[in-house]
Structures are given as structure tokens and as C-alpha cells.
């Protein structure tokens, strides 16, 4: 490894520019069952795009297609103009729950993307430890996932996804299984962490308030495709009344 | 944490008095563990006692115990055999056979199990012959083994291998299929390829299931190594036992049987222990008393997590309890 990659992964996350993602007439489904048809969407580098929709609208399916875990039945998913055919470390994913490897400690879970990238042991240890501290879990490095609460596990997942210095972070209802208080804490942590990264974020949720709290733009996914795309004025600024926008989204849902 | 002075007066015999604190909890567990071991030993002793009583009383209650050697006679014979070189040679011979056959079966069974579960093509090619051979009892392969292998030794190892291979292969295959795809997806979105998925997800994730197969495989391997030795050996516990039978030396037959029983038990227990060590991440914190020490730390972790969740007040209470 050269001296350039030797800098901490936290730095790398700041430097790595966001990925431009484009969906061109994408049709998605599992087996014979079609979920979405003719989906068109442009995601700008570095923006936080939140996809809201009722359950069964296929929001997670869109995310899987962007990640490269699911091949579209028609159309193309483009990352920086290149068709997505398989998952890549450029597009990290945060799952709803239980995606940590239960046999690995917190530290070794966070290290994993660095290990896959071939970062030498000592550097990945330092980088992983700094990410763990960043999400407020310093001292928990040697715990197993089962020894952590749901909120703590999601903190680890966040650290793990960002440790690999991805250019896009895909988040699939990451706080959906948490209680209201923990969810609030996690949202604040995410806002805090996102301030340091230039990565594009695609965030899926069914919670309209969560969408308004995080998003630059909100995509409302109804049955059959994109209902509308709404720009959030002055995104991620506290104490702004977004009742109008909120009403608009709920109407679309 | 209770004071050392208090511990000294109460001693480990008063576990109920041990209240709060992980260390005392650990001691309670140890005491409970000792009790369980006492029960287990007593159970074994009771069986031997009944046997002794039946044989010395020359009981004939439908079954004829009058001609069965008593535990005392068997113990005397065992004492005699322990003084001979041949007894240890037999044990070593059987152990070498079983370890060789079992190790080969473990490697082949896990490799093929993963392969046929992960690759449809490999499954189509390899599964039909495997499924046809699988129902054949390994011991029925003895004639083939004698025909095909140049030496008896290789034949016996082959029988052992064949016996252990199938349970290991089948359990591995099922464990791989039952693996949640989520972990694989996670590793792939980190940029991990097939090798990474195999090494970081499939192998560790299937370990609990694989160890189930290894346990069963070890049991069957013992049955088959002994049977194979009885048919075509010149050494080994099985051969010696059968030989004793042909010269109507019943105490020696029973010594052989007991040796097989103990060795088989040790082998299975080793697999069990190894499995538990390697899949420690799986066990919830309310496991058996055997893991008293681990438990204490696990419990500490839970309390710690709670304390953290409840912030200052919780942590204060926790500190007070210690």
C-alpha cells in the first residue's frame, strides 16, 4: 500500500467525491413478479436523496438495483455513466437490521471492507477504531453484535459502510427497527457524519418526517413508479417549518 | 463484589449467599456445574452397580446374567491388559484409522457440501452419484474395499471415511442453503468477490450446522471402524474384541467394548467442545453451567449496555450494586 492510502479512511471518505447515479427506464421484479416499471431518476453527486413510499412500493428493490444486487429486467442503472452489473465497494449499503456478521467483533466487522480492499492490518485497525469512535462506540471494539442493542448495531453498520470510503451510501430503512428515541439519536448522528462526507446518499424510509429531516430531495414512490420528486428548501436546517411539504408528500403517498 | 473475608467464611459450599456481582455469579455457576458432574458420575456408577449386582446374584430373570462377567472381573481383566503393550497398540491403531478417515471425510464433506450447495452445475454433476451411494451402509462397502485397496489398512480407513463423509456433506449442504442471503449481500456491497463471501460468510456462518454433521460423522465413523476391524484387521480394538469372542474370553470382550465406548465418547466430546469454542458467537448468554466464566463476562456486557442506554442514572445504580 502506498503512502497515499495510508491516510485514515475518515479522510478518504471526505475526499472521495460523490457518485452520480442514473436510472434509465428501469423495470424491476423478482421472478415473474414485476414490482416497478419504467423508473427514471437522476441522482446528483453528493446529494441526499430520500425515497419514501408505502411498504410494497418497491423502495428497497430500487436500492438493491442501485447496489448491483438485483439486475433490472429492462433499462439500465448507471453509476458515473457506467452500467451497474454487480455490487462494488463504491456503493456501500446499510441494511435494516442484522447485517453485521455475528461471529465478528465490532472492530472486525468495521475492518471488513478495508480488509477486502487489501488495506494492511495495522492501518485498517486504526481506521476502523476511529470510525467506531466517530459513531460513539469507543470501548465496544471487542463486543460481538449479539452483545449490542439494536441502535448500537446500526451505529456499527454505519461505521462499517463508511469505513470503506464509498462514493455512495445506500441506506435501506436503517432506523426502521429502532424505538423512537434511539431513532432520533441515530438521525442526529447520521446528519453529523454526513456533514463530513461528500458521498451521495440514497436513503429509503417510510417515515415522512425522517425524509424531511435528512433529504435534499424526496422521491415519493407510489404503486407503479415515481409519484413525484420534491426539492427540500434549505435541507438539514433545524427549526424550519416543513408542514406544507409534509402535507404534499402525504397526499402523494 | 463481595469481600474476600466473607468469601472465606462462606466458602464455595454456600452458593446461595453469593449475591450481586459477576464474580460471585461465576462461583454459583461453578458450584452448580460440580453438582451436575456429580449427578452424571453417579448415573454411570449406578449402571455399574446394577450390573455388578445382577451378575454376582446370578440373576436369571428371562435374561441370563449368570454367565455375564461381572464388572469386577472386567476390571481385573482391564488391569491385566493395561500392563500389556498390545492394548495400547490396538488403541493407537484404531485412533490412527479413525482420525485419518475422519479428517479426510471432514475436508471432502465440507468442500463438496459447499460446492453442491453454491453451484447448480456442480450439484447436477455430483449429486446423483452421491445420492445413490449414500443409502448404502458404509460397512456394506467392505467387500469393495477389500477388492479395490491393496492393503487392509487403506480399506479400513476408506470405510471410516465413507461412513463419516455423508453426514458431514449433507449437513454442510443444508447449512449453506439455510444461510441468510443478507450477510452475503453485505459482503458483496463491500466489493467482496466469491472468495471473500466463501471465507467471511459461508464458512463461519455454516459452522454450527457443519459441526452437527461432524458430531454425527464421528459417531458413525466409530461404529464403522470397529466393524471393519472385526472383519478385516490384524490390530485395533475391534479386531481384539472379536478375537476375544472367538476364544470365548468374555471379560476381554467386555474390556474391548468398554474401551470402544470410552474412546468414542472422548472423540465425540472433543468434537462437541471444539464446536462450542468455534461457535461461541452463536450462544446466547443463558447457556449451560459449563461456561460459568464466559457467562459472567456476557452478563457484564448486558448490564453495561443497559447502563449505557439509560445514561447517567442507570450507570449510577450499576456502580452502587457493585
Tell if the CB–CB gap between A116 and B187 is shorter than 8 Å: yes
pLDDT attached to residue A32:
79
- Please indicate if any CB of chain B lies within 8 Å of the CB of A69: yes
Fold of B71-282: MetI-like fold (1.10.3720)
**Would you write out chain B's pLDDT as a tens digit for each of its 322 residues?**
334 443 333 334 433 433 444 455 556 678 888 999 999 999 999 999 999 999 988 888 888 888 899 999 999 999 999 999 999 999 999 999 999 999 999 999 999 999 999 999 999 999 999 999 999 988 888 889 989 999 989 999 999 999 999 999 999 999 999 999 999 999 999 999 999 999 999 999 999 999 999 999 999 999 999 999 988 878 899 999 999 999 999 999 999 999 999 999 999 999 999 999 998 888 754 343 333 333 333 333 343 333 333 333 333 333 333 3
Cell match 469507543: residue?
Answer: A138
CA distance A86 to B109: 31
Tell if the CB–CB gap between B305 and A87 is shorter than 8 Å: no
For chain B, the three-class secondary structure string (H helix, E strand, C coil) is CCCHHHHHHHCCCCHHHCCCCHHHHHHHHHHHHHHHHHHHHHHHHHHHHHHHHHHHCCCEECEECCCCCCHHHHHHHHHHHHCCHHHHHHHHHHHHHHHHHHHHHHHHHHHHHHHHHHCHHHHHHHHHHHHHHCCCCHHHHHHHHHHHCCCHHHHHHHHHHHHHHHHHHHHHHHHHHHCCHHHHHHHHCCCCCHHHHHHHHHHHHHHHHHHHHHHHHHHHHHHHHHHHHHHHCCCCHHHHHHHHHHCCCHHHHHHHHHHHHHHHHHHHHHHHHHHHHHCHHHCCCCCCHHHHHHHHHHHHHHHHHHHHHCHHHHHHHHHHHC
C-alpha cell at A213: 429531516
Grouping H, G, I as helix, E, B as strand and the rest as coil, residue A219 is strand
CA distance A129 to A111: 9
**Which residue of chain B is at minimal alpha-carbon distance from A94?**
B186
For chain B, the residues whose C-beta falls within 8 A of a C-beta of chain A are 180, 182-183, 185-192, 196, 200-201, 204-205, 207, 279, 281-282, 284, 298, 301-302, 305, 309
CATH superfamily of A3-252: P-loop containing nucleotide triphosphate hydrolases (3.40.50.300)
C-alpha cell at B277: 469454542
Q: How far is the alpha carbon of B71 from chain A, nearest alpha carbon, in Å? A: 47
Contacts of B301 in chain A (CB under 8 A): 143, 147
**Which residue of chain B is at minimal alpha-carbon distance from A101?**
B183
Tell if the CB–CB gap between B305 and A148 is shorter than 8 Å: yes
What residues 83-112 of chain A have any CB closer than 8 A to a CB of chain B? 86-93, 95, 98-104, 112
Grouping H, G, I as helix, E, B as strand and the rest as coil, residue A114 is helix
**Which residue of chain A is at minimal alpha-carbon distance from B204?**
A103
Q: How far is the alpha carbon of A144 from chain B, nearest alpha carbon, in Å? A: 7
Tell if the CB–CB gap between B190 and A92 is shorter than 8 Å: yes
List Cβ neighbours of A240 (8 Å cut-off, separation of 6 or more). A233, A234
Tell if the CB–CB gap between B189 and A170 is shorter than 8 Å: yes
Name the region of A161 (left: φ>0; alpha: ψ -120 to 50; beta: rest).
alpha
**Which residue of chain A is at minimal alpha-carbon distance from B205?**
A103
Low-confidence spans in chain A with pLDDT less than 70: 1-16, 223-224
pLDDT digits (tens, 9 = 90+) for B140-162: 888 899 899 999 899 999 999 99
Contacts of A90 in chain B (CB under 8 A): 191
Contacts of A104 in chain B (CB under 8 A): 281
**Which residue of chain A is at minimal alpha-carbon distance from B300?**
A147
Task: Please list the residues that pair with A23 across neighbouring strands.
Answer: A41, A77
pLDDT attached to residue B164:
96
pLDDT attached to residue B246:
93
* Substitution target from A101, A153, A156, A180 for chain B, most B beta carbons within 10 A: A101
Q: How far is CA B21 from CA B284, B299, B303, B307, in A?
A: 20, 10, 11, 15
Contacts of A91 in chain B (CB under 8 A): 189
What's the ipTM? 0.89
Q: Is B6 exposed, middle or buried (0-12, 13-18, 19+ CB in 10 A)?
A: exposed
C-alpha cell at A127: 481506521
Task: Please give the model's pTM, rounded to 2 decimal places.
Answer: 0.78
List Cβ neighbours of B266 (8 Å cut-off, separation of 6 or more). none
pLDDT attached to residue B161:
96
Amino acid at each position: 500500500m502506498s503512502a497515499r492510502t495510508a491516510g485514515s479512511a475518515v479522510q478518504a471518505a471526505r475526499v472521495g467525491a460523490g457518485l452520480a447515479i442514473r436510472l434509465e427506464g428501469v423495470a424491476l421484479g423478482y421472478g415473474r413478479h414485476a414490482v416497478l416499471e419504467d423508473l427514471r431518476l437522476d441522482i446528483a453527486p453528493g446529494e441526499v436523496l430520500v425515497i419514501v413510499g408505502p411498504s410494497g412500493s418497491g423502495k428497497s428493490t430500487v436500492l438493491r438495483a442501485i447496489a448491483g444486487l438485483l439486475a433490472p429486467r429492462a433499462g439500465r442503472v448507471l453509476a458515473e455513466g457506467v452500467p451497474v452489473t454487480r455490487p462494488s465497494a463504491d456503493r456501500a449499503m446499510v441494511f435494516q437490521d442484522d447485517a453485521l456478521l455475528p461471529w465478528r467483533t465490532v472492530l472486525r466487522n468495521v475492518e471488513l471492507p478495508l480488509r477486502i480492499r487489501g488495506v494492511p492490518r495495522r492501518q485498517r485497525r486504526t481506521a476502523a477504531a476511529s470510525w467506531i469512535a466517530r459513531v460513539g462506540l469507543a470501548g465496544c471494539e471487542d463486543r460481538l453484535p449479539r452483545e449490542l442493542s439494536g441502535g448500537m448495531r446500526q451505529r456499527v453498520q454505519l461505521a462499517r459502510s463508511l469505513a470503506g470510503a464509498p462514493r455512495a451510501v445506500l441506506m435501506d430503512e436503517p432506523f426502521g427497527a429502532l424505538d423512537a428515541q434511539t431513532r432520533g439519536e441515530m438521525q442526529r448522528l447520521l446528519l453529523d457524519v454526513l456533514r463530513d462526507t461528500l458521498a451521495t446518499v440514497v436513503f429509503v424510509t417510510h417515515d415522512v418526517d425522517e425524509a424531511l429531516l435528512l433529504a435534499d430531495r424526496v422521491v415519493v414512490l407510489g404503486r407503479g413508479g415515481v409519484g413525484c420528486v420534491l426539492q427540500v428548501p434549505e435541507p438539514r436546517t433545524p427549526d424550519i417549518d416543513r408542514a406544507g411539504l409534509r402535507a404534499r408528500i402525504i397526499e402523494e403517498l | 463484589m463481595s469481600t474476600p473475608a466473607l468469601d472465606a467464611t462462606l466458602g464455595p459450599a454456600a452458593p446461595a449467599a453469593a449475591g450481586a456481582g459477576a464474580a460471585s455469579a461465576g462461583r454459583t455457576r461453578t458450584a452448580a456445574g460440580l453438582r451436575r458432574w456429580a449427578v452424571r458420575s453417579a448415573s454411570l456408577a449406578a449402571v455399574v452397580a446394577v450390573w455388578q449386582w445382577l451378575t454376582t446374584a446370578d440373576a436369571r430373570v428371562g435374561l441370563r446374567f449368570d454367565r455375564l462377567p461381572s464388572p469386577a472381573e472386567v476390571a481385573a481383566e482391564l488391569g491385566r491388559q493395561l500392563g500389556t503393550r498390545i492394548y495400547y497398540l490396538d488403541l493407537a491403531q484404531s485412533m490412527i484409522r479413525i482420525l485419518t478417515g475422519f479428517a479426510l471425510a471432514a475436508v471432502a464433506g465440507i468442500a463438496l457440501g459447499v460446492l453442491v450447495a453454491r453451484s447448480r452445475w456442480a450439484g447436477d454433476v455430483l449429486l446423483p452419484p452421491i445420492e445413490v451411494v449414500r443409502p448404502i451402509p458404509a460397512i456394506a462397502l467392505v467387500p469393495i474395499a477389500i477388492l479395490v485397496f491393496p492393503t487392509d489398512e487403506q480399506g479400513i480407513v476408506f470405510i471410516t471415511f465413507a461412513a463419516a463423509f455423508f453426514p458431514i456433506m449433507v449437513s454442510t449442504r443444508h447449512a449453506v442453503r439455510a444461510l441468510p442471503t443478507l450477510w452475503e449481500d453485505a459482503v458483496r456491497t463491500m466489493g467482496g468477490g466469491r472468495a471473500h463471501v466463501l471465507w467471511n460468510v459461508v464458512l463461519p456462518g455454516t459452522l454450527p450446522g457443519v459441526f452437527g454433521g461432524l458430531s454425527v460423522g464421528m459417531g458413525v465413523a466409530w461404529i464403522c471402524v470397529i466393524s471393519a476391524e472385526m472383519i478385516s484387521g490384524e490390530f485395533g480394538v475391534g479386531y481384539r474384541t472379536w478375537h476375544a469372542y472367538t476364544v470365548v474370553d468374555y471379560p476381554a470382550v467386555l474390556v474391548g467394548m468398554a474401551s470402544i465406548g470410552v474412546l468414542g465418547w472422548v472423540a465425540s466430546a472433543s468434537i462437541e467442545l471444539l464446536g462450542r469454542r468455534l461457535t461461541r458467537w452463536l450462544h446466547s448468554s443463558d447457556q449451560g453451567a459449563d461456561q460459568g466464566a464466559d457467562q459472567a463476562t456476557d452478563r457484564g456486557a448486558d448490564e453495561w449496555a443497559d447502563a449505557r442506554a439509560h445514561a447517567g442514572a442507570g450507570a449510577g445504580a450499576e456502580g452502587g450494586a457493585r
